[in-house]
Structure 1
Amino acid sequence: MPMEQEPDGAQPDAEDKPVIASGKKPPQGSQTVDKAMILLKTIASGSSEGLRLMDIAEQSGLDRATAYRLVTSLANHNFVDQDMQSKRYTLGLEFFALASAASNRHDLSDRAREALEHLAEATGDTAMYCLRSGLDVICMDVQMGKFPVRTMPMDIGSRKPIGAGATGIAILAPLSDPEIEDILARAAQRLAKVPGSDPETIRHQVALCRERGWALAADDPQGRIMGLSLCLTSRNNRPIGALTLNGIPERFADDRVAGLAALLREEARELADQLDRLPETERHRTRWSGMRTGRSQNRP
């Protein structure tokens, strides 16, 4: 695949500082792997049109020469594609092939898709299924409803920091306050770029979510899309992901929200029951083992 020309004056990055700090000396070569993972996540968080090399370098914190060498190597393995006209980079098909294999291994796709289809049909709104990955929320699947004004705050495979939007709030809520503060500190730079995701607002939204059992918040920077989200947790009440309904703000009037939340809870409980009925060996193969919907939380 033809790639952008390497920036002039590019020098080897042997003197680059580690991107991820650690109290222990990292294994030889691990810094390159860390940088490649940061680069992939940066591209994944970009728009569907892709990112320019200069954008990738700026957003990842890598110098342009390092970003070029890494993106070239990833493209050689089909993890990154470059549009020949725009010169923008997007995730390649090999990345999605691996993601699909991981999803199948964890037995997630079919059960989640069925829940999303039921939610979209019953409400007419957009149903979204996300998983937690470290400090990120990753959109795994989306099902559009039949309401004429359609909304889609996240593309499949895209990510945003935990705490941003209804899904991010719902996933934070089951955690202890010290854990939440640690996450907010570690994700502060990224959250600062998302309107309405300042620490004080997030803390307030988390408190409301704990009181209601669900999160309701704007799911796009302009506030044109609202999200109603319910966290999916493990048996020990650790957040795994979330089911979310999205639509225009008018679709989330007070007299409708309670019914939507009940539908979310019903689908989440059914999803948990289906996984509980799996054979023991299969159930323990999935990160969704014995998934529960946070029954310890107060109900509306």
Structure 2
Amino acid sequence: MTDGELDTVGKASRLLVHLGTVPEGATLSELSRATGFPMSSAHRLLASLRRQDFVTFDAESKRYSLGLRLFQLGAAVSSARGFTGIALPVMKQLSETTGEATLMSVRDGHHQLYIHHVEARHNVGVKGETGKLGPLHCTSMGKVLIAFADYDTREELIENVELKPFTPRTIVDRATFRHEIGRVRAQGFAVADEEHETGIRAIGVPVLGPLGTVVAALSVPSPAYRTTLAAAMQFLPPLREAAERLTVLLPHP
């Protein structure tokens, strides 16, 4: 089908499909070149998609990215096809083992998107917010989502993700951040020691796809007053076991 034969829905779909191949997003001119649409047409379609939350726009970088409405639709399909039914039992078992909360996230551009959580058995625990965006650079899940991405994506994130200071412990130096991601990749897990929130420690591991790149991240967060770093390391074996189970059980494209 030629561009001239595409209807409005077909053109919008082509824009969305292309955005799905560029996790860092794309400018209007890049989208125009990639799809073959005039910039005026592409801009009009993108404006409509933004109004429906299918697309987001970063005013600083001038880049368009896929929006949360697509995640919501994808989550509904995923749940219907068993993703939630597979992930949550594994996460619940992990929380039973550790006594702490279990969180799961995926990468959404330069952020992570929390997709599942299981609460801790304790009265005081870390609560996840499904559907909320969070930072990559200062969380255990965010670090593994960067460290186990494909090489090009990993390099782009290391160089360009915002190193916003959330606490005095947040890594804000680019060279130090690069070293941290290399260490995470070498050891196979990440620790966030009060880097995102004061009083919260977390350990996270990647859930890998068939090609060895990350498809999701799992973490066990806990209050720092209850869990020392040494105690947090005791969560690593069951975390890895859960991630390995999900690698086998989760459907892959």
Asked if TM exceeds 0.5, the reply is: yes
Alignment of 1:121-200 (within 5 A): 121-152=96-127, 154-175=128-149, 179-188=153-162, 191-192=163-164, 194=166, 196-198=170-172, 199-200=174-175
Aligned length: 214
Uncovered stretches (5+) of structure 1, i.e. residues with no partner: 1-17, 44-58, 63-78, 80-90, 276-282, 288-300
CA shift, 1:170, in A, is: 1.0
The residue aligned with 1:22 is: 30
Q: What TM-score, normalized to structure 1? A: 0.59
Deviations 1:82-120 (A, max 9, x none): xxxxxxxxx8xx878624323236631111111111122
Matched, 1:110 2:118: no
Q: Distance in 2 between matches of 1:252 and 1:61?
A: 40
> Aligned AA for 1:31?
H
TM-score calculated relative to the size of structure 2: 0.69
Number of the residue aligned with 1:61: 59
- Pick closer, same or farther for the CA change 1:228–1:21 going to 2, 3 Å: farther
Q: SS of 2:30's equivalent?
A: coil
Q: Which has the larger radius of gyration?
A: 1
Map 1:40-55 onto structure 2 (within 5 A).
40=53
Q: Which residue of 1 aligns with 2:203?
A: 228
Percent identity of equivalent pairs: 17
The alignment partner of 2:115 has SS state of strand
Name structure 2 gaps, 5 residues minimum: 1-25, 61-66
* Alignment-mate amino acid for residue 174 of structure 1: F
Shift of 1:21: 4.8
The reply to whether residue 119 of structure 1 matches residue 94 of structure 2 is: yes
Runs of 4+ with deviation above 6 angstroms: none
Match for residue 3 of structure 1?
none
Q: Which amino acid aligns with 2:188?
A: G
Once the two structures are overlaid, the 10-residue window that deviates more, 155-164 or 233-242, is 155-164
